[in-house]
Structure 1
Amino acid sequence: MRLWPRSLLARLLVIVFIGLLLANALSLTLVMYERMRSARAVMLGNLENDVATSVAILDRLPASERQAWLPRLDRGNYRYILSNGEPGAAPQDKRSQDAIRTLKATLEGQYPLRFTAVAGPISHIQAHLTLRDGSPLTIDLIPRMPPVASWLPIVLLLQLLLVALCSWIAVRQVVQPLSRFTRAVDTLDPAANTPMAERGPVEVHRAAHAFNAMQSRIQTHLRERTQILASISHDLQTPITRMKLRVEMAEQPALRDKLLNDLDAMSRLVREGIAYARSSEPLEETSLKLELNAWINSIVCDYQDIGKNVQFQASGTRLPLTTRPQALRRVMTNLLDNALKYGDTAAVEVHQPDEKHVAIRIIDSGPGIPEAELEAVLQPFYRVETSRNRDTGGTGLGLAIAAQLTAQLNGTLQLANRPAGGLEVTITLPRG
C-alpha cells in the first residue's frame, strides 16, 4: 500500500488509466490474434496457388531457360533452387508443419516431396522434388507471417498517450470541483463575504449553492453576536457614568479610589468591546495610497513625543502601499500598546518579502507568550494566565482586534517568540 497514491486525483487517474489500458490491450490482443489468423490463411493460400503455378512453369520450360526465370518466380519468403539443396533432418516446429501440409496438398500428387530443416535461429525448410526431365528442384522456404507495418508502433504509442490524456481530463473534471470547494473552505472568511462561484455540473452547482448558504448563515450569526456585544457595551456606558458620579461623592477616599479603578476597568472593557464589534464589520474606509516608511515614522514619533521608548528602522527604499490607513493605524497602536505594556521598549521594522507584499515587524522586550498559546491569544477575551492582573492583563481584545482588522485588510498577522527574548508580531500586507 505504500505505492498507492494519497491524493484522490492520483488514485482516480491510476484506476481510470489502468482500466482503459487493459480494455485497449484486450482489444489489441483480439485484433492481433485475428490478424495473425487471417495473415496465416492468406500466406498458406498464396503459397498453395503460387507454388503450384511456379513449379508447373519450371517443369514445362527447357532446362536451359529455367535459370533465367528464377528471379521472376522468387517471392519474399521463398525461392527456387535448381539443385538438390542442403541435407538435413525432417522439420519439427509447428509453423513448418503448416507449410509442409500446404505443399503436400499442392504438389505431392504430381511430384514426390522430401523436406529438410535448415539449421538456424528461425524456421527454415527446404522442399526437394524432381521435375519430369529428372532435374532436381528445391523450394527454399522461410514460413513467416507478413511483417508488421512500421507505423503500427507509432500508432500504439499515440493511442497510449491518448488514453492517458483522456484519463487525465476525465479525472480532472471530477476532482477539480472538489479541489475548488476545498480551497473555498480553507479560505472561508465570513467577514470578507466571498461567495463561491455556482457553476459547473448540477451536483457541483448544488454543492456551491449549499456552501454559499452556509457562509451566509455564519455571517448572520456573527453579525448577531457582534450586534449583541456592541449593544451591551454601548448600553453599559450610561450606568457606568452614573456610578462614577455617585462614587465620586463617597466620603471614604480609599473605598472611592478602589471603586473608581474598577469602574475605569469596566469602561475600558466596554470601549474595547465596541471596538471589537466594529472591527468585525466590513470596513467602509476608502483605500488610500501612502508611503509606508513615512507613515510608520509619524506613528513612532507620536509615541516618542509622550516619552515612550519606540524605535523605527526603515527600509532603504520607498514602499508605496495602498491600504486603509485608519484601520492600519488602529492595528499598529494596538500592537505597540501591547508591546509597551509587557516590555520597556518596542521596535518597528519594515521589509519587503517579495514584490507584491510588505511586512511590518513589531518587536518588544517582554517575557513573550508560551508557544502553546500563540494562536489562542488572538481570540477575543483570551489572556495569558500570568498576565491576568489589573495593570497588565488588559481586556484580552487588543490582539483580537488587530488580527481581525488585519484580515479585513487582506493581510496576515503572526506571532513568534524571539530566541533572545520578547515577542515578534509580523503583519504581512498586499502592496495594492
Structure 2
Amino acid sequence: MRSPRLRLAALWPRSVAGQIALLIVAAMVVTHAVATLAFFTLREPWRPDDHPGVAATRIATVARLLDATAPDARDALLHAAARSLPTLRLAPWPDSAAAGTVSEALKTHSVVRRVRDGFGRPLAMADLAASETPPGIRVGIVTPAGARFSALVPDDERPPIRQGAIVVTFLFLAVALSLVTVWAARALTRPLARLAQAAEAFGTRMNVVALPENGPQEVVAVAQALDRMRARVRRLVDDRTQMLAAISHDLRTPITRLRLRAEFLEDDHTRTMTLRDLDQMNGLVETALSFVRDGQTGGEGSATLIDVASLVQTVSDAFADVGADVRVAATRHVLVRGRPEELQRAVTNLVDNAVKYGGGARLHITQAEHRVVVAVWDDGPGIPEAEREAMLQPFVRGDRARNLDTASGFGLGLSIVAAIAEAHDGRLILENRRPRGLAARLELPLAATAARPAPERMAAE
C-alpha cells in the first residue's frame, strides 16, 4: 500500500511541458476559487425582496410619496403600497399608538441609515417590535409633513460592499499568486540552473560539478547526455595529453644521440646549423612537456598562500641577472591562494614574451575588488584585436613567419598562462597599449585571508 505522498508524486507530471501546464491551471483554479469565495462572502442576497439595499430604497420611496401626498389620500396610497410590497409589512401608524423607543441599535442599523439617506431629509424613526418571520425590525416612521406608517426593516447588519475591500482582496490575491508562481517557477527551473552551472564549470576549469539527478524528464535526459559527453571529452583530453607527453619524452633520447653525433661533424657550418636545429627541437620538446605539466593543472592539494609581490620580484630579478630590461614599476603586497610553481611559470612566460617581442618588460601589481592584477607591459608591436583570442590557443604564434628561427617560439607560452589562470579561477587579458606595445593582465582572486597591509611603492623607472 503506497503512502499518500507516493500516490501524489505519481500524479506529478515528469515533463517540463506538463509541469508548466499544471502550474498555469493551478494558478487559474486558485484565482477563480479565491474570487468566488470573496464574492459569496461580500455579496448581498440575490432575491430583490430580501436585498437590504432594495428594501431601504423602497421604504424611503414610500416615505417620500406619503410626505408629498395630501393627508386624506395617504391611507389609500399606503394601502396600495402594502399590496405591492408585501415583504415590507407596510401599515398605518396612528397617533394613538405607542410612541415606541429610539434605541442605539436602531440609530446605528445599516438599513435604517440607508432609509434615511434615501429619504434625503430628517426622518423620525422608532422601534416598535421585532419580527422573527421574516427576520426584521418593525419601525415607526414619521415624515416631516406628518405622514405616519410602520414598516418591517430587514434585520441585516451586513454593511454595503465597499470597493476598497474588493480592491484589497484582489490585490492580495495578485500578490499571493505572484509569489507562489515565482516560487514554483524557480523550483521548476532550478535543475536547469544547476545544469548550466555544471556545463559552465566543465567548459572553463574542467571541474566536476554534480549534475542534477532529479527534475523534469528533459532536464534529466540532458544531464545524462552531458555526463556522457563530459566523460568522452575527459578521455579525449587524457589520451591527447598522454600521447603528447609520451612523444615529447621519447624524442629526448634520439635528440641527445643526434647532438653527440653532430659534435663529430668536420664542417663547422654544418655542425653549427645542425646543433641549432637540435636545440630548437629540444626546446620544442621541453615546451611541449611544460604544456602537458602546467597547461593541464588542476590539483588542489598543493595550493598555498602566495605573496604576489615576492613572486613577481623573483621573476624580475631572474631576468635582470641575465641582462634583460625587466623592472617592477608598481608593486603591492597581497596574498593569493595557488601553486607557486605554476604562477611563477605564468609570470615568467609573460615576461619572456615581453622581452622577446618588445625588448623589455615593466611589471605592475594592482589590487581591485576581490582580485589582484599582475600587468606586464612592453613596447612591442602588440597583437591585432582579431588575433587575440587565437593567440591563447596552443601552437599559435604571433610572428607571421613559420620558420623556426632563433627568435620564434612554439606558440605554447600564452596558452599555458591562460590554462594556469583558469586553474586558479582567474583569467588572462591581452590589450594593446597606445601608441604601441602590449599589456598582458593576469587577474587572480584574492585569498580569503586578509592581505598584508603595505603601501604601494613605485620603483624608479
SS of alignment partner, residue 365 of structure 2: strand
In structure 2, do the counterparts of structure 1 residues 160 and 40 end up closer, same or farther at CA, with 3 Å as the change threshold? Answer: farther
SS of alignment partner, residue 202 of structure 2: coil
Structure 2 residue 170 is matched with structure 1 residue 170: no
2:300, 2:31 → 1: CA distance? 61
Equivalent residue pairs, number:
368
Shift of 1:362: 0.7
Q: Are the counterparts in 1 of residues 191 and 215 from structure 2 also a CA contact under 8 Å? A: no
Structure 2 residue 91 is matched with structure 1 residue 77: no
Pick the aligned partner of 1:227 from 242, 249, 273. 242
1:43 match = 51
1:117 match = none
Shift of 1:298: 2.1
* 1:152-196: CA deviation from partner (whole Å, max 9, x where unpaired): 543332222111111111111222222232233233247543222
Unaligned runs of 5+ in 1: 1-11, 86-128, 130-134
* 1:215-251: CA deviation from partner (whole Å, max 9, x where unpaired): 2221111010011111111111111222222222222
Structure 2 residue 43 is matched with structure 1 residue 28: no
In structure 2, do the counterparts of structure 1 residues 301 and 43 end up closer, same or farther at CA, with 3 Å as the change threshold? Answer: same
Percent same amino acid at aligned positions? Answer: 30
2:323 match = 307
Q: Are the counterparts in 2 of residues 339 and 345 from structure 1 also a CA contact under 8 Å? A: yes
1:381 match = 395
Q: Are the counterparts in 1 of residues 359 and 379 from structure 2 also a CA contact under 8 Å? A: yes
Give the alignment's Cα RMSD to 1 decimal. Answer: 4.2
AA in 2 matched with 1:187: A
2:306 match = 290
In structure 2, do the counterparts of structure 1 residues 415 and 41 end up closer, same or farther at CA, with 3 Å as the change threshold? Answer: farther
Q: Are the counterparts in 2 of residues 388 and 394 from structure 1 also a CA contact under 8 Å? A: no
Q: Are the counterparts in 2 of residues 347 and 363 from structure 1 also a CA contact under 8 Å? A: yes
SS of alignment partner, residue 348 of structure 1: strand
In structure 2, do the counterparts of structure 1 residues 409 and 24 end up closer, same or farther at CA, with 3 Å as the change threshold? Answer: closer
In structure 2, do the counterparts of structure 1 residues 81 and 291 end up closer, same or farther at CA, with 3 Å as the change threshold? Answer: closer
Q: Which moved more, 1:192-201 or 1:251-260?
A: 192-201
* 1:272-304: CA deviation from partner (whole Å, max 9, x where unpaired): 111111221434772222322123212211211
Q: Are the counterparts in 2 of residues 365 and 423 from structure 1 also a CA contact under 8 Å? A: yes
Q: Are the counterparts in 2 of residues 80 and 138 from structure 1 also a CA contact under 8 Å? A: no
1:326 match = 341
AA in 1 matched with 2:329: Q
Pick the aligned partner of 1:244 from 224, 237, 259. 259
Pick the aligned partner of 1:196 from 186, 210, 226. 210
Shift of 1:393: 2.4
In structure 2, do the counterparts of structure 1 residues 308 and 81 end up closer, same or farther at CA, with 3 Å as the change threshold? Answer: closer
2:345, 2:117 → 1: CA distance? 103
* 1:343-384: CA deviation from partner (whole Å, max 9, x where unpaired): 111011101111x32111111111001110101011111112
Q: Are the counterparts in 2 of residues 293 and 319 from structure 1 also a CA contact under 8 Å? A: yes
SS of alignment partner, residue 359 of structure 1: strand
TM-score normalised according to structure 1 size: 0.72
Pick the aligned partner of 2:375 from 361, 377, 381. 361
Instruction: After TM superposition, list the pairs within 5 Å mapping 1:98-247 onto structure 2.
Output: 136=147, 147-148=160-161, 151-189=165-203, 192-201=206-215, 203=217, 204-247=219-262
- Consecutive aligned runs of 4 or more in structure 1 exceeding 6 Å deviation: 15-19, 44-47, 69-74
AA in 2 matched with 1:376: A
2:96, 2:401 → 1: CA distance? 122
Pick the aligned partner of 2:288 from 268, 273, 287. 273
Q: Which moved more, 1:160-169 or 1:286-295?
A: 286-295
SS of alignment partner, residue 147 of structure 1: coil
* 1:122-146: CA deviation from partner (whole Å, max 9, x where unpaired): xxxxxxx9xxxxx855899xxxx96
AA in 2 matched with 1:42: D
1:383, 1:138 → 2: CA distance? 110
